[in-house]
């Protein structure tokens, strides 16, 4: 709901009279069969689908709230996550912060069939910059809760994607220039463009 994301929306003037409505829909812990569900659970995974209709929030494209992942127990890095665009177009904004310093900000533009891996220690926001519905799925570890507070406290991610382009979020202080990366295949782990990653469990 919009009210749940009011802290991270750029256009506060628009927000005042926007009302409250759904921005996107999340369907969690999905499977195609009981057998698949058992395999997914046994491996400590969760398969989700997110549907994000096209919308402009004042002057900003619709987006997710944005979050970080907690550290893996007994490891020095956070959990990773893998996304696949099922339909539409997605802009994945990734940011790495250390204390109050922003170390890196990356934009990955992904289309249907593309896979995107969120690496350890990066927060991320997904944006729908098109006039089409975005559908994406993800694989993630099932036994942790995402961390929303750091992005919420800064009133959003390091950059806002407006209809006129990207704008730095001044609440972060020094922010590196946004660098772009292309989606790539990760064939060594079975991730290939246009091959649905749900099949990895089979």
Q: Which domains does the chain have, with CATH numbers?
A: 2-182 (2.60.120.10)
Tokens 């204390």 sit at which residue? 99
33: which DSSP letter?
Answer: S
Mean pLDDT of 35-53: 98
HSE at residue 129, side-chain half, CA atoms within 13 A, is: 18
- pLDDT for 190: 84
pLDDT of 185 above 80? no
Give the separation between CA 127 and CA 180, rounded to whole angstroms. 15
Q: Which residues pair with 135 in a beta bridge?
A: 51, 87
pLDDT in tens, 123-152: 999 999 999 999 999 999 999 999 999 999
- pLDDT for 107: 99
Give the separation between CA 97 and CA 66, rounded to whole angstroms. 14
pLDDT of 42 above 80? yes
Of 197, 12, 15, 23, which is closest to residue 127 (Cα–Cα)?
Answer: 23
Both tokens of residue 59? 């002057």
Share of residues in the chain with pLDDT > 70 (%): 100
- pLDDT for 194: 86
- pLDDT for 189: 81
Q: What is this structure's pTM?
A: 0.95
Provide the mean pLDDT of the chain. 96
Give the separation between CA 197 and CA 148, rounded to whole angstroms. 26
Coarse DSSP helix, strand, coil percentages of the chain, rounded to the nearest 5 percent = 20, 40, 45
Give me the long-range contacts of 1-4 (CB less than 8 A, separation at least 24): 2/57, 4/65
């Amino acid at each position: 709901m919009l009210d749940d994301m009011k802290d991270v929306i750029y256009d506060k003037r628009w927000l005042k009279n926007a009302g409250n409505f759904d921005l996107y829909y999340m369907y969690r812990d999905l499977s195609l069969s009981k057998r698949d569900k058992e395999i997914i659970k046994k491996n400590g995974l969760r398969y989700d689908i997110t549907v994000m209709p096209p919308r402009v929030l004042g002057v900003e494209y619709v987006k997710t709230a944005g979050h970080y992942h907690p550290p893996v127990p007994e490891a020095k890095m956070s959990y990773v996550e893998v996304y696949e665009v099922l339909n539409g177009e997605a802009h994945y904004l990734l940011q790495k912060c250390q204390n109050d310093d922003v170390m890196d900000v990356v934009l990955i533009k992904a289309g249907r069939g593309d896979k995107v891996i969120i690496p350890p220690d990066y927060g991320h926001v997904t944006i729908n910059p098109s006039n089409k519905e975005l559908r994406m799925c993800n694989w993630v570890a099932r036994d942790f809760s995402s961390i929303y507070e750091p992005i919420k406290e800064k009133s959003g991610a390091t950059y806002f994607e407006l209809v006129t382009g990207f704008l730095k979020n001044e609440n972060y202080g020094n922010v590196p220039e946004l660098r772009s990366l292309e989606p790539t295949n990760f064939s060594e782990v079975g991730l290939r463009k246009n091959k649905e990653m749900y099949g990895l469990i089979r």
